[in-house]
Structure 1
């Protein structure tokens, strides 16, 4: 891909006169950052790590040459006062089993040292980034990184804790992807009843059997909602007068308390096994959503979202989102009502903040700040190996109750993506788009109408005066608690126009560049598989249909799912909708049986997950596996990874299917437990040369801390031919 500067980055960092005066002030900068730091010097002789290492994937350079380069980063959070740490990266050769090979020891030219870059330091912690890169080779390869003298203050791990291994694809193939979302627990959830983050055990088992090259986080990688229950917002939340709550100031003391809360919560969660172990060995790509800030952020009423407290916690959450999830330096200071505009010099005392002079070119910045977060949106674009492009839209920074993204943000995004696809010279065959929330999903406007109707007013009055219906109303603006979730949906009535325009632009992108578009979405705490497709009257096979866009809905990997009745209701609302005269949409009947059914080793629990009539929504924790369906010439394959199964029977075109909720192309034939892609371990060959296999890994039993899953599979064809009809 191009190595040009990220779109919009020229104004991402503030250049206000106040900041310039700080940068130019005596002794305030060393040329790489602002402030001198806490002036603490560690004398332990070891690198005392509070959290990490965390491994991120960034992008590829030279993607369309014979020698592409993989770019990523490793982050560690240490106690302050550490001397510059270093990281050694070495190649272990082809992955074990690839063409019968064993990992080899590294030669001198395959071993490199990288210096740590300090991103941020205060009296409590320091963040160090190692920007690493490596050449992709003729076969899938294994790499090892080591941070000498690493000592974890959380677990006491030594020695091997500093050495981690990860995998990259061959130069001629695309990455094997794990997709997840909603990686945390809502306030009030019985964590023990849900066995903690048990599904990450299954992620690591799948990774050991067939390595993931990247894991994509679709938002809510962490749940910060507890800040209003047992954190510094507890007293503010308890204020009953809405006007007083809106006017409550976010001063320096409250800002510091919130800063401490977000930091400690990130350290706790990102150090929790087995999630922490996965973070160290599977490269991440993340966007954020509301729980990364606080439940419903952006979707409450405008006058309430403009309250100083919301503005303040949005800024603090953004700081740690950049550091932990993107390995990027934060702004010079975060917002307070003490200094409503510009940089708060008090925050720079005994603090160091790096200046990101060359932000990574994979980011696409918005043109202006969000309405409630005083920063620009950060969408991203990169290649996931040879044939797959990936983009994630930041749908939280600019979100309001009536808007998901600014129109000019969409313009910047689509212009950048189109330019990158054009530069790829036809090598990109599949475009994966990450949205925080599903876009091909049942409508719930009837429920919105009920919750917003005058019928709710008497109950709201009783709640305000006597606490009646306490669980129904949120503790912020007194609105119906479910409404902020419904307002988040693309299918909400106020987002209907924006949703349609986004889908039509994706169709135009697919048609122009002859690529298949597949959408990822999370948030809803259940598994489902939506699809847009050409109206059957147009008689276009899915393989040739640029309107055919699947929506892989995988959520949650950790949070509890909705009750069975909610999932069944959604399935009943699974109508065949008409986006316009040419495009229809509906969920696929994917789930042929409950997870664990007919499984002697890991049997299903006694209680059924869904009604017998529900084959479209699965209320059980889950994650998804996405991989190329076919091996490509020039790559050295492992025996298991290169095996191609026999094709499954299935209808050839949409017109052959009596019910579009059922399979409409061969890759969807026998979808579910019996599909060859169900276990996510072998290539099926069902989706053509550049198609994808998809596996939904669904938890069998919430009480089993091993996190065993049941697989449901299907395949997605590449876009082979642009039909002249339609």
Structure 2
């Protein structure tokens, strides 16, 4: 808790001043302090208000155990609530951001907490009468996770066909049955691409001459217009139900990706990425990413070409432009909370240091979230020294945990165990495309085939984003090998989360079968849960089938193979999404649930009895262990709630797939499997 945040036992009746709120509350998880004698949960609540408000207050009380127990309920009823004073992070003549920092001791039981913000009034005049609630684990639990990505719509989406963020209704239904302790946003929590279609970059995007477009200034007027666009888009999207309700009831952890800035940011050609407009919107997007998604104060000002002091990063933050500070308050000298792993130097196009995350997710689970956008170029995802910082912090934390950490969850912006599309890269970047590009520049031929920024084939920025792209192969291999070394050294199972690709799949790395290593003893066995998109439209069925045909056995190195797992044993709700033979890619909106397995089931995974393992298969097109052998709709974890399996101590994973985008209730079909601990 920051020194300027404050608690009080003041009665809630003292806090009845009206608070005109334009967005919120948004609930975040920050970290946990875990010692042999106690566990402390750290989080925050953010609201956005009109300027000039009195300091708002939040009233917090324990609402009781999640599992009914009369003795515990009585104890909770006797718990005195506290009033938390809001800390102002930022204010200008249009808006103010307030953070309430929350610190909770974990109990011997799973607890529901309730909070209200007295006097809260929305722009339509309605008041928030009902309290919000959230759930924290017991001190002996690992957290229950929900993972999502691509929570918005690409430009040009047919909104008659894809009816809003309906799948969040299924998230809330599952949460009501068995609460999530945290929801992890894997990037593209918001889509800001419209800034170039109907926003302040429309005129710039339409400039036909590439040189004029690259050299166009990003002056303070354009910056202010972009600032207004990003802020308004955040307010609109984060106030959209049912996403809005989830924001106030499930604590968030977020890492950004390109659409949080603009489509393809970081993966266009270097000379174009360095243009002033891209550097400018990178700074503006970073400002609101800090505020809305992390509840921290932003840099004092962002890049403009008409204030020279902002054009060169100083200690990772652009020099201040006094015009941007007129009638504006920015919280300074705030202590960084201990979840951050901050890069050593600014990114090449976003003039800020990368912000990677380490968090303890309960008793036996740890998490790292890699900021794969701030340092990204077409030829790198992250600086080598950033990986060193991440693994150094990870080593420090796991050693300090003295063997308690059994699972490491790694969040990436894009999948890392995924089919190669090198042949498509070669075609799209080959000389045969050059004549078509020339005709496009002069006559507009194949206009939709080329992007409006650097004139390259539009699909190339997506392919260049992938870890499996040829220019990222070495970086990818070294990263995976370091994770393998970590797993082996600490007997901790690594599970990777990745989104971006608008379909669901389960990739895995594993030891080459010739080595004769069972999965439970295999530090190379890592699952990549690919869950995307929770809101955006999926690719056509033909694309999913093409990727499935490219699902070969790949070799990361002589000892490590990789491929997608057969997982989707039928079409969701009987509605055809892909070919009947395609069991590895699912082109439908989806999200994932991840739960530590609590106890062995009496009649669960029949492929393993009395601890007997499956024989080592010929290759990864077959199940690698018993938790995979029963994967699919009938698995105990498929409903997103089940937490039992014969693989005690491992993870149950469910991917919840939307059946029909026209169903406003977000009806979903679940698929599940179990992953195991290392032994």
TM band (smaller chain):
over 0.9
Q: Distance in 2 between matches of 1:384 and 1:656?
A: 32
Structure 2 residue 107 is matched with structure 1 residue 137: yes
Q: Distance in 1 between matches of 2:441 and 2:150?
A: 31
Residue of structure 1 aligned with 2:362, choices 382, 385, 389: 385
Structure 2 spans left out of the alignment, 5+ residues: 6-15, 313-318
Show the counterpart of 2:90: 120
- 1:334 deviates by 0.9
Show the counterpart of 1:411: 388
- Counting only pairs closer than 5 Å after superposition, residues 367-378 of structure 1 correspond to structure 2 as 367-378=344-355
Given that residues 98 and 140 in structure 1 are in contact (C-alpha distance below 8 angstroms), is that contact kept between their aligned partners in structure 2? no
Q: Distance in 2 between matches of 1:644 and 1:157?
A: 48
- Counting only pairs closer than 5 Å after superposition, residues 506-545 of structure 1 correspond to structure 2 as 506-545=483-522
- Alignment partner of 1:579: what SS? strand
- 1:104 deviates by 5.1
- Counting only pairs closer than 5 Å after superposition, residues 601-616 of structure 1 correspond to structure 2 as 604=575, 608-616=576-584
Structure 2 residue 182 is matched with structure 1 residue 182: no
- 1:515 deviates by 0.3
- 1:103 deviates by 4.8
CA 1:147–1:471 in structure 2 vs 1: closer, same or farther (change >3 Å)? same
Show the counterpart of 1:25: none
Q: Distance in 1 between matches of 2:62 and 2:462?
A: 46
- Alignment partner of 1:448: what SS? helix
- Alignment partner of 1:92: what SS? strand
- Counting only pairs closer than 5 Å after superposition, residues 629-668 of structure 1 correspond to structure 2 as 629-631=597-599, 644=601, 646-650=603-607, 655-668=615-628
- 1:190 deviates by 1.4
Given that residues 440 and 530 in structure 1 are in contact (C-alpha distance below 8 angstroms), is that contact kept between their aligned partners in structure 2? yes
Q: Deviations over 1:337-378 (max 9, x none)?
A: 112242101111100000142111110000000000010000
Residue of structure 2 aligned with 1:67, choices 30, 38, 45: 38
When the two chains are superposed, the root-mean-square deviation of aligned CA atoms in Å is 1.8
Residue of structure 2 aligned with 1:54, choices 26, 41, 60: 26
- Alignment partner of 1:615: what SS? coil
Structure 1 spans left out of the alignment, 5+ residues: 6-30, 34-43, 598-603, 632-642, 721-726
- 1:185 deviates by 0.2
Q: Distance in 2 between matches of 1:104 and 1:186?
A: 50
CA 1:646–1:156 in structure 2 vs 1: closer, same or farther (change >3 Å)? farther
Show the counterpart of 1:19: none
Q: Distance in 1 between matches of 2:405 and 2:200?
A: 48
Q: Distance in 2 between matches of 1:236 and 1:653?
A: 61
- 1:655 deviates by 4.8
TM superposition score normalised by structure 2: 0.94
Q: Distance in 2 between matches of 1:64 and 1:575?
A: 45
Given that residues 517 and 616 in structure 2 are in contact (C-alpha distance below 8 angstroms), is that contact kept between their aligned partners in structure 1? no
Q: Distance in 1 between matches of 2:156 and 2:407?
A: 40
Q: Distance in 1 between matches of 2:487 and 2:214?
A: 45
Q: Distance in 2 between matches of 1:51 and 1:645?
A: 47
CA 1:159–1:298 in structure 2 vs 1: closer, same or farther (change >3 Å)? closer
Q: Distance in 1 between matches of 2:24 and 2:49?
A: 9
Q: Distance in 2 between matches of 1:659 and 1:593?
A: 23
- Counting only pairs closer than 5 Å after superposition, residues 426-441 of structure 1 correspond to structure 2 as 426-441=403-418
Structure 2 residue 124 is matched with structure 1 residue 147: no
Show the counterpart of 2:316: none
- 1:137 deviates by 0.7
Q: Distance in 2 between matches of 1:712 and 1:371?
A: 41
- 1:661 deviates by 1.9
Show the counterpart of 2:675: 716
Q: Distance in 1 between matches of 2:420 and 2:615?
A: 25
Q: Distance in 2 between matches of 1:45 and 1:343?
A: 35
Which structure has more RCO (C-alpha within 8 Å, separation ≥ 6)? 1
- Counting only pairs closer than 5 Å after superposition, residues 218-297 of structure 1 correspond to structure 2 as 218-297=186-265
- Counting only pairs closer than 5 Å after superposition, residues 309-708 of structure 1 correspond to structure 2 as 309-339=277-307, 340-341=311-312, 342-597=319-574, 604=575, 608-631=576-599, 644=601, 646-650=603-607, 655-688=615-648, 690-708=649-667
